[in-house]
Structure 1
Amino acid sequence: MMLFEDPPQNLALAPGAMLLGRFAETADRALLAALARVVAASPIRRMNTPNGGQMSVGMTNCGAAGWVSDRTGYRYDRLDPETGRPWPAMPPGFADLATRAATAAGFAGFVPDACLINRYTAQTRLSLHQDHNERDLAAPIVSVSLGLPAVFVWGGPRRADRPRRVRLVHGDVVVWGGPARMTFHGIDPLREGDHALTGPVRYNLTFRRAL
């Protein structure tokens, strides 16, 4: 199933999962300015995978810990392996947005300690996966879209479950937790385009309780 019309203000994806249409749009310029400062301290890079490949999506992190991938596996680390320094502190505007979005989706009290930043360019994608490296799986995931639109692939608790496809636009926020916390999800290959604020790029900010 695919929905290509602009989503309504709120769209329930499953019990415990909600799309908040354009929830972050009014804060977009502040978010992108803060993002630029994070990237200046810990540049975006394409991480290696445990099998020796390289991810197509560019990544960096901010917060108390960052998600990393290399030959030894997937994990959270308090230090940026490229700089040897702690990841940049999470900007207050990031944490505030994540907490407000989680509350709006029914997860009051969420305070993230990590933000994984993904940068998508034309044809980059993220295959179906679960977010399971976090220690606190009772906390939700909050995912913010900025820039070019993307097709969000929302599956089920098993990789083989037939997925649903939902178009995400600039400012959309997806929150999932509780019974939906371990849902497989991904992003289809990004289409070429040009956004007024981000150019040919889509950024995704995903907030977690990692430690």
Structure 2
Amino acid sequence: MTEEERPYRVADKHGEGWLRNGPDGTYTTYPLTNLGELTYDQLDDERGPLRPVVNADPEDSAQFNAALTHAGKKAMATFLVALHHTGEELARLHGSVRALTAGRPGSWEANLLRSHIVWLGEDIAPSRVDDAALLTVKTLLKEWTQGPTQVELAEGLPFSLWQVAEKAGGWDLITDQWLRGNTAIERWTASYRIHD
């Protein structure tokens, strides 16, 4: 692989996000950690296999959106439960949920996703969840965080939720009474919120 072919962003086997921004094309974590500055080959040797960061495949995004659209008022609760299950699995595998944000780890959206949003689904009752949508969303989240590529989720997920809300006719039509007005969700999706 030539220097020009090397991806700008990658995720390592531990779910850590790396950015090619150092001198001579070296990779560093962002925000910076004590993992140092590595060439692509060093990074691949020490923390590979590496997965390039990409946007979600349009077919996968359409499947994600269709599943949540079908869930109606259970959409947000279903999404949060799927996200929580994915976070728990990542924590078991890697000791953290970093892989959820490896595509854009230094953003405020990533910080909120890692520190708060991922845990909101822990206590949601099964009656508030659409089972078919849950299976679809969990499958996609697993592929996006553990597959051959790392999908950027910190901003991508709020955008997808906005698309679902827009198709439904507003946030209130994809959010049940217990999640409506949740300040963390509202802040995380603020860039894409539409009002009825």
Q: Judge same fold: TM > 0.5, yes or no.
A: no
Larger radius of gyration: 2
Q: Which has the higher helix share?
A: 2
TM-score normalised by the shorter chain: which range applies? under 0.3
